Amino acid sequence: MSTVILTVPPQGFDSTNPAGLEYTNAVPKLLFDDTTSEIVYWMLRLPSDFSSAPVLKVQYTMASATSGTFGVSVSIMAVTDGDAADVDTESYDTANSPTASTVPGTAGHLDEISVTLTNADSMVAGDLVFFKLARNVAGDTATGDAEVRAVSLEYTAS
Amino acid sequence: MQDTKKVQSLINAAAVAIEEARKLEAIRTKYIAASPSVTGTPLQGKLTLLNKFLGDLDTLLNSEAANLLVDNKVASHRGKAL
């Protein structure tokens, strides 16, 4: 199993509905509203040892909720060297939206969501890959902000 | 159908209104201490009516329901579910 870190803060914020960015104790966290679907982006060259089974790990806390669920939606766009595709034209695969997870019973306590990237736009080693992360506000029930602390991609290496 | 976010939007909206209305209590206290004459003002002859209104409002603003709403306001919920 190999891991790629997707940093917080991310490389990009949606121009219309960006997730918030806040610092606590000088450390950043992303704030995802409970009603408006807010979005952030990453882009990277998929490592040469990527083989299969990509899973996005999302570590989060809740700002105040102690009940209900938190869910995310992850979309992938992969472009291969030589593809007849304008990289600046968005063409994301179907979103991966796992069932929302029950939040910790205490606000501020850490939980982790695993998002199996079933729809990964057929990404292969060496691809330029775009990741779009949004809160699944229609599919979760916890009120108030979700605070995303860390994101990483795990996969089976060749 | 359960929709916790719509419920929270109502709670937050009501809590904000209650918190704003509670500021009237401090103003009323200052008014009573100042004890100004109401002669020639819209309150002339209406003090009994006014006092009943403010008393009833004070009771409502400090009721179990009001405290429940204020205590359960979620700061990071932006009230957009309704």
The predicted-structure confidence for B27-43, as pLDDT tens digits, reads as follows 998 998 999 999 999 99
Bridge partners, A129 (sequence order): A44, A78
Full-model pTM: 0.88
Q: What is the mean pLDDT of residues B53-76?
A: 95
Q: How far are the Cα atoms of B38, B50, B52, B58 from residue B46, in angstroms, in the given order?
A: 9, 6, 10, 18
Shortest CA distance from B81: residue in chain A: A35
| pLDDT tens column, A64-111 | 999 999 999 999 999 999 999 999 999 999 999 999 999 999 999 999
Shortest CA distance from B79: residue in chain A: A35
Interface residue B48 vs chain A (CB under 8 A): no
* Helix or strand (DSSP H, E) at B15: helix B4-34
Q: pLDDT tier at B2 (50, 70, 90 boundaries)? A: low
Q: What is the pLDDT of residue B79?
A: 84
Q: What is the mean pLDDT of residues B6-15?
A: 96
Q: What is the pLDDT of residue B80?
A: 85
Backbone angles phi, psi at B55, to 5 degrees: -65, -45
Q: Which residues of A touch B8 (CB under 8 A)?
A: 34, 143-144
| % of chain B beyond a pLDDT of 70 | 98
Return d(Cα A107, Cα A67) in angstroms, integer: 9
Q: Which residues of B touch A143 (CB under 8 A)?
A: 4-5, 8, 74, 77
ipTM beyond 0.90? no
Q: Point out the residue among B3, B9, B78 whose CB comes nearest to the CB of A33.
A: B78
Question: In this complex, do A33 and B74 lie within 8 Å of one another by their Cβ atoms?
Answer: no
Whether the pLDDT of residue B72 is over 80: the answer is: yes
Return d(Cα B21, Cα B53) in angstroms, integer: 13
Interface residue A37 vs chain B (CB under 8 A): no
Bridge partners, B76 (sequence order): none
Token pair 């006092």 in the structure block, residue = B51
